[in-house]
Structure 1
Amino acid sequence: MIPKKYISITLFVIVLLCEIYLPSYKVNFALQFLLLSGLLLTSNITISKRIINNLFPLILIFGIGFLGFFNSKHNLGFIIKDITYFLKPINAIFLSYLLFKNIKDVSLFLRVILFIGCLTAFIHLFGIFILGDFANDSINNIRGDFGLDNFIEVFAFYFLLFSKKYFGKSLVENKILQILVLGVLLISIYLYFSRTMLVILFLIGFSMLGYAKITKRTLVFIGFSVAFILLLYVYLFSVKLDRNSKGVEAFLYKIKIAPEEIFKTKIDRENHKELWDHWRGYEANRAFELMKENPSSYIIGTGYGSLVNLKFKAPLGNEDMKYISRLHNGYVFVFYKTGIFGLILILIFLIRLYLKIYRFNTNNLNQLFVNRLISSIGLFYLFTTLIISGIYIPRDAIIFILGGLLSFDTYRKSTDKIIEQ
């Protein structure tokens, strides 16, 4: 008879690979929802108060979303779509939590993520160098054909890099193979040409080294980092970069416009160059303008099914859309749908994840590692919520890592101490 833990691991791997490679959001959500329902109905599983407490802000946000649409008549299809958006992270965390709850082996969980990260990295590089034309393709074509990002590879990289420090032995014990795997992951991460992935690569490393905890050492490190970023932008604004160029110059142009892409809201809609370079800001501004028309939306949001009127048909995805349901800026998205209470709750959820770095047992390096990982994911979502919807993006594999890690979160206030690492 197959041990239950291998069944759980197999299901987990299938769910994550589907999340990464299966393009249908509806199919993925249905698969995950049915699997969670099956686990709850067929298994003798107890759900701890700790996981309910961790998820409580998300559960409240989900409930608030039902308030706003009572004030307006929204399309049923868009109501259902929004409900699934806000239910998906709760469902995903519960699912991965339950799959690993009874395994009690953190290193096994990390090996599973490392396996998935290595597999996707090899597939990515095979596509670029064997199936594609890397020497002649533009960055946009490479990203369009072989993937915009894959954050699991970033986490897999750090799982392998830090495993010996926290577990006494590496997830890959052969030194040469370990270096090879780290190299493959790092090359694959870079060749996504994703600004977000590069920021996350730095941010997770920053956190895993202990710098996310505010100390004098951290402040000095942050100071040097800010100085480096300022010098980088001084350089970027001192040279002329063509937005239509190929290769590294195109990537540097995207880095150059990144800050104003998010925050600039006064945009000439007729100037297509300016519009697409600042699309996130334009979306957010349109949401704020619509909320002004209904002041109660600032409190309880516009509710499930509400749409943002772009005032023109924009070529988004495979079709032209004048009305959109989800925004790139996740904070604005939550605020638009659930009001100020929803915005406060999502911040509470993410900050509580980050604060895990302040809680660990001095005698338990495994728990220290788990807490730093959870804290790193909190930082990950604090950043990605600003630009790619965070936990509410339709395709997100990291939320499953979070659920698995929460099953190993054995924090006890009475036994934990604050120490410097």
Structure 2
Amino acid sequence: MKIKATTIYAPIFVLLLLLQLYLPSFRANIVLQIGVLVTFLFFESNILISKKFLKQLLPIVLLLVAGFVGTLFHKYETFDVIKDIFHFIKPIVGIFIGYFFFRKINNLRVFVQVVVISGVISALIHFYIILFKVDFASGSISAIREFTRDNFLELFAIFFLLFYRKFESRSLFNNIIFNWGIIILLSMSCMLYFSRTMIVILFLILFTVYGYTKITKKTLIIISLGISSILLLFVYLNNANIRRAKPGLEGFLYKVKVAPEEIFVTNINRDDHRDLWDHWRGYEAMRAYALMERSPSSFVVGTGHGSLVNLKFFAPLSGDSKGLKHISELHNGYMYIFYKVGAIGMLIYLFILFRFYAYIYKKNNFVNVFISVIGLVYLFSTITITGLYNGRDVIIFILGGLLYYSNSFKKESAVLIS
């Protein structure tokens, strides 16, 4: 008896997403993902890959290759070079897994259901952590977020559920009570992350779904009003007496207040821990830029795979009591890309993201809209959490599936892997 592809690949896909979120080891995850991909290619025969998909993937591969140019100009430890290579391989592996798995399943409704169920399981894990691992009664936002910083899987799950019917004219699940139960569960879980990034992404998804991210006269007016509202909010926050490290809403508003400074302010007193941690992303970027100035060629081709940023002190960024003085990754993904692969790599990276965003100008359907959403999400999240190269990113697997379905209804040339 032949086993259906859904029975095999849907549970594996869910497991990979959850491990990506809750298994803290990047190395363990990437080895597992590569192992799953190699196993798939070994056991499956006559695997078709559309040429359009390969063209979409090519710029991401070019970024991986571009990293070797800077490496040729410098001498790095082999371990650090390999570590960077795996970081640049990760999005390629994630896209391939999503693409191959759902090419075998070949059912858009099942794909959306799998993402939603993954989000539901993640939300249940989140509630378990809050109830049994966190002192929720303290009212401290920092305490609540200690183990759960953000979760884009749950955010995509709730919007997949809400808008599948809008585009496909049918419910994702037949039971109305089950539908609403999932919506309530995911909504409550998403709110309890208290994540600034998730709030921005929520609005990006809403604006994209309703067509407000297309560049038109109407949307430019709406964007201008939105920017004005944000500026007014920050004017208020900067004039209000909002104190640092306070419990509840005040602590969250303080994090919102310092968000722009955290990224862009680089004039930092390293000895003042409050100043340093409030502007950590800016400090990382400042140190990376200072090191690039020593080698002018790095502004064009980057410092390459294996390059490290010297923080000039041991920062408590790991489980080691001593801390880390040299780091490979930066929170600000644009600076990370610029540092590793230079201006050439930055242009390629922006091309990748804007290409995904441009799907909003294609046929207005579920797949194209959410590919465009992902392009915008990466454009924003690259500022704060490394975007496409975030070690915990799960969106890339969803993107792989969406890229398959974006081409699955078209007659196109394909490459056969036997």
The interval holding the TM-score normalised by the smaller chain is over 0.9
8 Å Cα contact 2:332-2:383 kept in structure 1: yes
1:128 to 122, 127, 130: 130
1:366-377 superposed matches below 5 A? 368-377=365-374
Q: Could you tell me how far apart the structure 1 residues matched to 2:178 and 2:9 are?
A: 27
Q: Deviations over 1:141-165 (max 9, x none)?
A: 21113x1111011111111111111
Contact 2:374 2:399 in 1 (8 A): yes
1:234 CA drift (Å): 2.1
Partner SS, residue 316 of structure 1 = coil
Q: Which residue pairs with 1:358 in the alignment?
A: 361
Confirm whether residue 386 of structure 1 aligns to residue 388 of structure 2.
Answer: no
**2:389 partner amino acid:** Y
Secondary structure, in 3 states, of the residue corresponding to 1:242? coil
**Deviation by residue 1:56-107 (Cα, 9 ceiling, x = unmatched):** 1111110011111122211111111000000110111011111111322111
Instruction: Output aligned runs, 1:291-302, within 5 Å.
Output: 291-302=292-303
Whether the 8 Å contact between 2:135 and 2:143 is mirrored in structure 1 is no
Per the alignment, residue 415 of structure 2 pairs with none
CA contact (8 A) 2:265 2:282 kept: yes
Rounded to whole Å, the distance in 2 between the matches of 1:72 and 1:237 is 44
Match of 1:313 in 2: 314
Deviations 1:217-237 (A, max 9, x none): 322322332232122112211
**How many angstroms does 1:108 deviate by?**
0.9
Q: 2 CA distance for matches of 1:372 and 1:4?
A: 26
Distance (whole Å) between structure 1 residues aligned to residue 8 and residue 178 of structure 2: 28
Choose which of 90, 108, 119 in structure 2 pairs with 1:88: 90
Amino acid at match of 1:395: R
Q: Which residue of 2 aligns with 1:149?
A: 150
CA pair 174-228 structure 1, distance change in 2 beyond 3 A: farther
Partner of 1:179: 180
- The structural deviation recorded for 1:251 is 0.4
User: Residue 411 of structure 1: CA displacement?
Assistant: 8.1
Greater Cα shift, 398-407 or 7-16: 7-16
**Cα deviation code 1:386-408 (max 9, x no counterpart):** 11001111111111000011110
Matched, 1:52 2:54: yes
**Residue 416 of structure 2 aligns with which residue?**
none
**Which whole-Å CA distance do the structure 2 matches of 1:139 and 1:327 have between them?**
24
1:103 to 94, 102, 105: 105
CA–CA distance in structure 2, aligned partners of residues 33 and 402 of structure 1: 17
TM-score, normalised relative to structure 1: 0.93
Per-residue CA distance 1:23-79 (angstroms, 9 max, x = gap): 111111001111111222332212211111111111111001111112221111111
Pairs within 5 Å for 1:172-211: 172-211=173-212
CA distance in 2, matches of 1:24, 1:411: 34
> Within the alignment, does 1:322 sit opposite 2:319 as a pair?
no
8 Å contact kept, 1:203–1:380: yes
Show the counterpart of 1:334.
337
Quote the residue 1:418 is aligned against.
none
Q: Which secondary structure does the structure 2 equivalent of 1:6 belong to?
A: helix
1:342-387 superposed Cα distances (whole Å, 9 cap, x missing partner): 1110000000000011011xxxx6xx11000000000000001111
Mean CA deviation greater in 261-270 or 378-387: 261-270
Q: Tell me if the contact between 2:136 and 2:143 (Cα under 8 Å) persists in the aligned partners.
A: no
> Partner amino acid for 1:82?
D
Counterpart contact for 2:5–2:104, Cα < 8 Å: no
Relative to structure 2, which stretch is displaced further, 170-179 or 194-203?
Answer: 170-179
Report what 2:227 is aligned to. 226
By how many angstroms is 1:412 displaced? 8.8
SS of residue paired to 1:312 = strand
Moved more, 128-137 or 279-288: 128-137
Per-residue deviation, 1:130: 5.0
Q: CA deviation at 1:297?
A: 0.8
Residue 77 in structure 1 maps to residue 79 in structure 2: yes
**Partner Cα separation in structure 2 for residue 370 and residue 173 of structure 1:** 21
What amino acid maps onto 2:213 in structure 1?
A: A
Instruction: Give yes or no for contact 1:114–1:157 (8 Å, CA) kept in 2.
Output: yes
CA contact (8 A) 2:120 2:154 kept: yes
Q: Relative to structure 1, is the Cα distance of residues 261 and 132 closer, same or farther in structure 2, using a 3 angstrom cutoff? A: closer
Q: Counterpart amino acid of 2:38?
A: S
Shift of 1:328: 0.5
Q: Distance between the aligned counterparts of 1:187 and 1:209, measured in 2?
A: 23
Distance 1:130 1:276 in 2: 28
**Matched residue, 2:14:** 13
Instruction: Say whether residues 1:400 and 2:403 are aligned partners.
Output: no
The superposition leaves residues 247-284 of structure 1 with CA deviations (integer Å, 9 ceiling, x where unpaired) of 11010000001011111111121221111101101111
Tell me the SS of whatever aligns to 1:214. coil
Tell me the distance in 1 between the aligned counterparts of 2:288 and 2:188: 38
Moved more, 227-236 or 69-78: 227-236
Report the secondary structure of 1:309's partner residue: strand
1:117 aligns with 2:115: no
> Structure 2 stretches of 5 or more lacking a match?
413-418
Tell me, yes or no, if the aligned pair for 2:138 and 2:247 is still in contact at 8 Å.
no
* RMSD between superposed Cα atoms in Å: 1.8
Relative CO higher for 1 or 2, CA cutoff 8 Å, sep ≥ 6? 2
The answer to which of 119-128 and 73-82 deviates more is: 119-128
Query: With structure 2 as the length reference, what TM-score do the two structures score?
Result: 0.94
Distance 1:170 1:272, change over 3 A: same
Q: Percent identity?
A: 48
Contact 1:303–1:338 under 8 Å retained in 2: yes
Whichever residue aligns with residue 271 of structure 1, its letter is D
8 Å contact 1:257–1:277 — kept in the other structure? yes
Distance 2:410 2:350 in 1: 23
